[in-house]
Structure 1
Amino acid sequence: MKRVKRLISLGLSLTFALSLVGCGNGADTSDANAQDTPSTGGNVVKIGSLWPLTGGSATIGQQHADGAEAAIKEINANGGIKSMDGAQIELVVADTQTAADQASVACERLITDDDVSLIIGAYNSTCCISASEVAQKYSIPFISQGGVATDVTERGYDYVYRINNTATFDVQEMIVALDEVCKEYNLDTLTYALIYENTDWGSDNARIWKELADERGWTCVLDEPVTNGQADMTSQVLKIKESGADVCNVSFYTDDAIVFANAMYANQVDLPYGIWSVGGGWQDSAFYESVSPEVYEYTFVQEDWDMSGVQNKEWIKEVAQQCKDTYGYEMSSFFAQGWTAAYVAYYALESAGTTDAEALRDAIANLNIQNSDEERALLSGYSAIVFDEKGQNTFGGGPTGGTIVQYQNSEPVALYPAEHSSGGTAVLPIPAFSER
């Protein structure tokens, strides 16, 4: 069930029970600046939670919203905002409808109608860009999570911050993994095809891939932008087949990813070194529920988190189990991103001790959240969250920021980098369809 534009009262009574730890990060614990916002719950601070809950990215947006909800439940159960006399946090959840213009409208309503103190969101790059423009206009802090387009933090805005990686980091992770493939299989060069949705996200990914690939002497044999929402991509995948590419780099959201993958399978397009997806639809459980396993077998996917965390940290294992029990799906990078965004918002409020927008902006700018066994904010696995002068988390990615997996026997096997590997090996060259 999609929960659109709802107000979630998050009190001390929980259905999502987790072991709790004290709030760290050196926050001021005085109550001198406690806000007495009118609400049925007493001291309450509102945070806008802005995600695509309908449209092409709906299942992805819902996972972000679930992660944020789960984190806020834990924070409230642990005493709320201690520097504001234990104020509880309420999430006001709004829907971008997976559309940039609707993201702007929803963001403005959160600010003018719902009186939120700051906003987290909004996954799609175009939505992050448009919504954050509104937040900047109203001088309300906007913590971007999900959108990787360069422009999110390149416009000189002082109320906009991004936790996650940029498109450059995403592509670097795949290119560095392919460097390892080239070494292992004694490949002097590669030929590659680019196919991508033609908004900021896909176009950025393709541009950066081409720049890094050209530095290595690889040859581009196809550069194919695609308009979102096509019902059939047979003509595009036949171009890939005719190109003779070794590798295909893909950037599509869920609906388009389904259409593309089915077309690749239907036309038996063989790529000896695989499809390499920049996350997007291939990170969405709805994709895997909609296509047959043979459609995505051997595909490489760039995941925006450290997938080894579930195995390596007991508290992450607990959260993963609670995600499964409460929301009915395996914890994903999207759930982790929503959780982390909510915790960053909480830390900013705890540090500022007030809902004053300028004080919150400065508090976000000065956050220094380090990953440790005790720190529960970094479910996404980043080594730290420290923002630079442009508002970009300087630890938001890079060649070791995420995980490259290959689907083998319908399951993701973590391969690159070595720090995130589950100990498996890549299946390469990939068997032709006629040999499977």
Structure 2
Amino acid sequence: MCMKVKKVLAMVASSVMLAGVIAGCGDSGSSSATSSATTGNVSSESSGSEKTSSSSKGNTGEADMDSVTIGVLLPLTGDTSAMGVKTKNAIEMFFEDYNENGGIKSMGGAKVNLVVADTTSSSEVAVTEIERLIQQEDVDILIGPYQSAAGAATAPIAEKYGVPYLLTSSCADEIMKNNYNYVFRANVCIDDAGSTIFDFFNSYNDVYGYMPQKYAVVYENTDWGMSCYDMVKRYVEQNGGELVVEEAFTSNNSDFSSIINKVKSSGAEIVFPMCYLNDAVLFTQQMSEYQCDATIVACGGGFTSSDYIANVGELSNYVIAEAGWSLGVLDYKGEEGAAINEKYSSLYGEELDEYSAFGYFNSGILANVLERAASTDADKIVEAFLATDLDSDDPELSLMQYDGVYFADERSDGQTHQNTKCSNVMTQIIDGEYKVIGPVSMVGEPECEFPAPAWAER
């Protein structure tokens, strides 16, 4: 069967699944039907089989199977658990609906079984857990994790065993510069974030005549933080700016006062803090305490989680954050996206945010790929990944602002299997809500408070 026909069949299957979401928006309760129960890090369904390192997992995986097993690798405890739990919830919601609407039709209605593993917010534990998912749980495909350090540590393991792996929230550019055969990423990378931020600055300058000249970057010394730092330095230089402060710190910092005072005395107009939730909260609180008036422009991280606003309250106002997704995107999408958000809210008591949206979106990509692969054979799944060419109006993109999904053999920056049709959004927190302020191609003329008012004037 030609790929075009397979794509159409997959779209039909996804449309049926979305219809189930719309019909079930009034439901309440927790999503559980598709996920193996876990106790700590151990799934209740353990096959006990073991694999050896090879170029391919080697399953024959022909049609008419009972189930397909997806390993879900996320932080459910520890410092980044808030983001991991949101992602897990959305993955479970997607596949419960998917199974109820017929499962993988090209495999005779095979159901998707999820085996969830907790990385405990540790890249070392992530390595142990991905080994367990592959060798003991006999998973057919993997999804996760959160944090670039965990993604960088686990991608070589999936590659070694030949198990296809779709990264969700591990955006460091370097991860995808290793010529992996089995690792893919549908979400944005760090370089995409830099392009989004500085396109916004230039668009704002075109309309209002203001372009920042002095920048500070404060970044945690992790894979993600250092990748963000490299991106900021490159884009500042390309746009004729000056980087006046460059400060690294260890995550879960207890005091940013000395760094913030350096930023304050430098005259920086913009400060880029690259950190996860706990550090994002403290950094914002101390920016206010020490009256440092540089506008906070975040590159995702903890600043795009709804928990950030809950923790810092009105201090979050006027923070600008580049984000892989924001709830305001749904204002520019169809009714399917609103229905997905409504059902998620009814199940979990909160609306979608970047991380839950990523979980749902990537689940749709996995379902699309498995439908077209019609097999659990690893190499056939890889072929289906490489043949993926979705557009913005396909059902898999119901939530997303992306132009589509296409995994390039190699981008100009050396990344392989990175989606080339994705893009970020720019947001600003106003009155406790994320407002989408860019890109111009989506929202039109940028409307925001930029630069942010001085703390004394708020």
TM-score over 0.5 (shorter chain): yes
Structure 2 equivalent of residue 227 of structure 1: 250
Residues 212-241 of structure 1: per-residue CA shift (max 9 Å, x gap): 111222111100111111122111111111
Residue 55 of structure 1 pairs with residue 78 of structure 2: yes
Structure 1 equivalent of residue 272 of structure 2: 249
Give the 3 Å change call, closer, same or farther, for CA 97–177 of structure 1 in structure 2: same
Q: CA deviation at 1:180?
A: 2.3
Structure 2 equivalent of residue 357 of structure 1: 378
- Could you tell me how far apart the structure 1 residues matched to 2:230 and 2:198 are? 13
Q: CA deviation at 1:86?
A: 0.2
Say which of 398, 417, 428 aligns to 1:391.
417
Residue 96 of structure 1 pairs with residue 133 of structure 2: no
One-letter code aligned to 1:305: W
One-letter code aligned to 2:367: Y
Structure 2 equivalent of residue 287 of structure 1: 308
One-letter code aligned to 2:297: W
Secondary structure at the residue paired with 1:222? Answer: strand
Secondary structure at the residue paired with 2:22? Answer: coil
Residues 252-290 of structure 1: per-residue CA shift (max 9 Å, x gap): 11111111111111111112xx11001110111221111
- Unaligned runs of 5+ residues in structure 1 are 1-13, 21-31, 37-42
- Could you tell me how far apart the structure 1 residues matched to 2:444 and 2:126 are? 38
Residue 197 of structure 1 pairs with residue 200 of structure 2: no
Q: Is the 8 A contact 1:47 1:89 kept in 2?
A: yes
Structure 2 equivalent of residue 417 of structure 1: 439
One-letter code aligned to 2:418: Q
Say which of 370, 382, 393 aligns to 2:402.
382
Q: CA deviation at 1:185?
A: 3.9
Structure 1 equivalent of residue 5 of structure 2: none
Q: Is the 8 A contact 1:99 1:127 kept in 2?
A: yes
Range that drifts further, 308-317 or 420-429: 420-429
Q: CA deviation at 1:364?
A: 1.3
Structure 2 equivalent of residue 371 of structure 1: 392
- Could you tell me how far apart the structure 2 residues matched to 1:53 and 1:420 are? 34
- Could you tell me how far apart the structure 2 residues matched to 1:424 and 1:209 are? 21
Q: CA deviation at 1:306?
A: 6.2
Q: Is the 8 A contact 1:337 1:379 kept in 2?
A: no
One-letter code aligned to 2:426: I
TM-score by length of 1: 0.87
- Could you tell me how far apart the structure 2 residues matched to 1:101 and 1:115 are? 21
Q: Is the 8 A contact 2:64 2:109 kept in 1?
A: no
Structure 2 equivalent of residue 297 of structure 1: 317
- Could you tell me how far apart the structure 2 residues matched to 1:429 and 1:212 are? 19
Q: Is the 8 A contact 2:326 2:353 kept in 1?
A: no
Moved over 6 A (4+): none
Structure 2 equivalent of residue 215 of structure 1: 238
Instruction: State, as a whole percentage, how many aligned pairs show the same letter.
Output: 28
Q: Is the 8 A contact 1:305 1:382 kept in 2?
A: no
Residue 314 of structure 1 pairs with residue 335 of structure 2: yes
Q: CA deviation at 1:308?
A: 4.5
Structure 2 equivalent of residue 268 of structure 1: 291
- Could you tell me how far apart the structure 2 residues matched to 1:76 and 1:189 are? 50
- Could you tell me how far apart the structure 1 residues matched to 2:225 and 2:268 are? 19
- Could you tell me how far apart the structure 1 residues matched to 2:212 and 2:426 are? 20
Structure number with the higher helix fraction is 2
Q: CA deviation at 1:313?
A: 0.9
Q: Is the 8 A contact 1:307 1:403 kept in 2?
A: no
Give the 3 Å change call, closer, same or farther, for CA 254–115 of structure 1 in structure 2: same
- Unaligned runs of 5+ residues in structure 2 are 1-16, 24-60, 410-415
- Could you tell me how far apart the structure 2 residues matched to 1:429 and 1:137 are? 48
One-letter code aligned to 2:119: T
- Could you tell me how far apart the structure 2 residues matched to 1:192 and 1:214 are? 11
Q: CA deviation at 1:123?
A: 2.0
Residues 175-219 of structure 1: per-residue CA shift (max 9 Å, x gap): 111112333443465101001111111111111111111122211
Q: Is the 8 A contact 2:406 2:421 kept in 1?
A: yes
Structure 1 equivalent of residue 131 of structure 2: 108
CA RMSD of aligned residues (A): 2.1
Give the 3 Å change call, closer, same or farther, for CA 82–265 of structure 1 in structure 2: same
Say which of 168, 172, 183 aligns to 2:191.
168
Q: Is the 8 A contact 1:308 1:421 kept in 2?
A: no
- Could you tell me how far apart the structure 1 residues matched to 2:169 and 2:377 are? 26
Give the 3 Å change call, closer, same or farther, for CA 289–307 of structure 1 in structure 2: closer
Q: CA deviation at 1:80?
A: 0.3
